[in-house]
Structure 1
Amino acid sequence: MVSKGEDEVRKIKKAVFDGKKEEPKLTDLPGIGPAVAAKLESAGVYDMMSLAVMSPGELSDIAGVSQGVARKAIQASRSMLNLGFIDGVEYAKKRDNIIHITTGSKNIDNLLGGKGVESRAVTEAFGAYGSGKTQLGLTLAVNVQLPLEKGGGNGKCVFIDTEGTFRPLRIRQIAESLGANPEKVLKNIFVARAFNSDHQILLLEKISEMIKEGEPIKLLIVDSLTAHFRAEFSGRGQLADRQQKLNKYMHNLMRLAEQHNLAVYVTNQVMSNPAQMFGDPTVAIGGNIVGHASTYRIYLRRGKKDSRVAKLIDSPNLPDNETVFYLANSGVVDEESQ
């Protein structure tokens, strides 16, 4: 026998499929009324997909409902969204709307497959101070505003600043080199200074709210990813707590990128591995937690004279490789004279 809740879900799915109803809302789910939906929205859960990927325990804690009600709501949302297996051809079609944002350097773009930083992916750049991590982020913040045909995302940028690295003057320089209006470019970059890891986590929830309100955000930059986590959990006895909190944050970044088809670029600090007897002892902070969650990992370091070296060390579809780039008034470039 079909329950009343299951019957309602089927009716909503049919109406959406037939074009007679808009995309389902949270209040269409069994057990989710206006009051519960308001609680979810205040926690950053605005759409069906955000709820569908939650666990019953997580939904129960946020919405103040029993785990039984939470489980039914999650099952209904997954049914409406037709979450499950699809064949490779269908999956390839779903990736047709992936966008790429040029880094400003053909060399780095080619390192990343030819077009730049990819949406629905987390790109991590780690390296020592002065290696070019922030400069690459600032260049991307400008380039995302370019039209799609010019290597941009035709959208806006969110810049979460944890170390006080965002500089409007630098944005103006890069924008002017492209012939763009510096003030208009700055207007399309939303900057937030995160003062601790909890604040940094909270800011991710605000991004979903901004997108729901119509802001065409296509790039999220976090500079730097691990600074607060590293400072707040400094002792070895706190390492497990730090990694657990960082793991959740990384998965929230991945979820945000996937749900809204935006690119995520994060910078990461490094340390020296004292056990490394030969070769480069530099390792990224965050260990396997950050490494597994990052789709693309780039190691940046200083090269000869004023050059920088970018080395791709992890990617799901590209070989390890490295290239040279420079930093100029126009941002990240291929030639020293630019």
Structure 2
Amino acid sequence: MKNEIQESVDILKAVKGANKFKGAEEPTGVLKGAQNAWDMLSEEQSQKHISTGSSDLNGILGGGIHCKEVTEIVLFRWCSRSRQNSTGLAINVQIPVDYGGLGGKAVYIDTEGSFMVERVYQIAEGCISDIMEYFPHHHHKASSGKGNLQPEGFLSGIYYFRICSYTEQIAVINYLEKFLGEHKDVRIVIIDSVTFHFRQDFDDLALRTRVLSGLSLKLMKLSKTYNLAVVLLNQVTTKFTEGSFQLTLALGDSWSHSCTNRLILYWKGNERCAYLDKSPSLPVASTPYAVTSKGVRDAATPNCKRVRIM
């Protein structure tokens, strides 16, 4: 601990000396750009959220997916169709401001080849249909206009990256800062899934932990710097503990601290359910939901059946 303290002191001295050498004024504090807590609360309360498509699911998330935060969505293998949550988010983030949305664009990083553009088109049509239903007399007033609400427009608002190895994944995440600086209208970054290549190709677990830790810190920084949501899809695996196999999050215990919020999607009988497992400000909660031809929606009945999608 003494060595770490001394190292910090040495760094501060070096910075101070560099400022004097350059003729710059001495900083009034160690860090610049500090915010007071009241401003932080006001900013948080004024933030819009990205709708999941289900009001019940939005409810347990405090309004939807939060900007300036990293949300992990955990998929059980038999619940793989629920990855359409992330596909729907890439559409819903584009809902115009006139209709209560963010009017932003999406970055979709696909590591598994599971992005189906035909299905995305279908979800975009469902989103437009809902807008028409909920705002039947609003189109002539909206600056976006009814004519601009076309599926093609929603698809053009998704920047898609296909990743085939963990080295490509690292490279794209490192490239994101430059990309987001050039595309300031992006309001969500989705990685589907963050897990795949690091489980398949990475043998050095200690190195993997360090690399993933660095990537998660970078993603958190990007979410705050560019006021966007980061959504990471993860998987579950089995771990042998106390004489039996138990389900646990992929990528190990250290990865479990890398997100702000964690949402677990699973089946309960014939019902799809979402469980908010982690949040800094919201209580643990669960709710049923459904996957329809339009995408994620509220469960129609308490015992909704599985919906066949394409």
TM-score, normalisation: structure 1: 0.70
CA contact (8 A) 2:75 2:83 kept: no
CA contact (8 A) 1:158 1:221 kept: yes
CA distance in 1, matches of 2:85, 2:212: 23
- Give 1:72 shift: 4.7
**Alignment counterpart, residue 282 of structure 1, candidates 227, 230, 247:** 247
Which residue pairs with 1:233 in the alignment? 202
- Give 1:277 shift: 7.2
Q: Deviations over 1:174-230 (max 9, x none)?
A: 111122412111100010011112211221233322332244100000000111111
CA contact (8 A) 2:209 2:255 kept: no
Which residue pairs with 1:198 in the alignment? 167
**Alignment counterpart, residue 137 of structure 1, candidates 86, 103, 109:** 86
Percent same amino acid at aligned positions?
32
- Give 1:290 shift: 2.4
Q: Which amino acid aligns with 1:292?
A: H
- Structure 1 unaligned residues grouped into runs of 5+: 1-67
CA distance in 1, matches of 2:291, 2:228: 25
How many matched pairs?
264
CA distance in 2, matches of 1:134, 1:109: 16
CA RMSD of aligned residues (A): 3.0
Matches within 5 A, 1:1-338: 72=18, 83=32, 85-95=34-44, 98-113=47-62, 115-131=63-79, 132-148=81-97, 150-179=99-128, 180-234=149-203, 238-275=204-241, 281-305=246-270, 307-336=271-300
- Give 1:264 shift: 0.7
Between stretches 286-295 and 117-126, larger displacement belongs to 286-295
TM-score, normalisation: structure 2: 0.76
CA distance in 2, matches of 1:282, 1:79: 51
CA distance in 2, matches of 1:190, 1:294: 23
CA distance in 2, matches of 1:80, 1:140: 43
1:321/1:96 CA distance change after superposition, 3 Å: closer
CA distance in 1, matches of 2:27, 2:195: 37
Q: Deviations over 1:33-69 (max 9, x none)?
A: xxxxxxxxxxxxxxxxxxxxxxxxxxxxxxxxxxx79
CA distance in 2, matches of 1:79, 1:188: 42
Q: Which amino acid aligns with 1:258?
A: K
Q: Which amino acid aligns with 1:170?
A: R
Q: Larger % of strand: which?
A: 2
Between stretches 295-304 and 248-257, larger displacement belongs to 295-304
CA distance in 1, matches of 2:192, 2:234: 8
Q: Which amino acid aligns with 2:224?
A: E
CA contact (8 A) 2:92 2:127 kept: no
SS of 1:287's equivalent? Answer: coil
- Structure 2 unaligned residues grouped into runs of 5+: 1-13, 129-148
1:83/1:172 CA distance change after superposition, 3 Å: same
SS of 1:282's equivalent? Answer: strand
1:284/1:104 CA distance change after superposition, 3 Å: same
- Give 1:333 shift: 0.9
CA contact (8 A) 2:52 2:85 kept: yes
Higher RCO (C-alpha 8 Å, min separation 6): 2
Q: Deviations over 1:282-311 (max 9, x none)?
A: 211123332212111011112222x21111
- Give 1:152 shift: 2.7
- Give 1:163 shift: 0.3
- Give 1:135 shift: 0.7
Q: Which amino acid aligns with 1:202?
A: A
CA contact (8 A) 1:104 1:333 kept: yes
Q: Deviations over 1:13-37 (max 9, x none)?
A: xxxxxxxxxxxxxxxxxxxxxxxxx
SS of 1:254's equivalent? Answer: helix
- Give 1:313 shift: 0.8
CA distance in 2, matches of 1:204, 1:98: 25
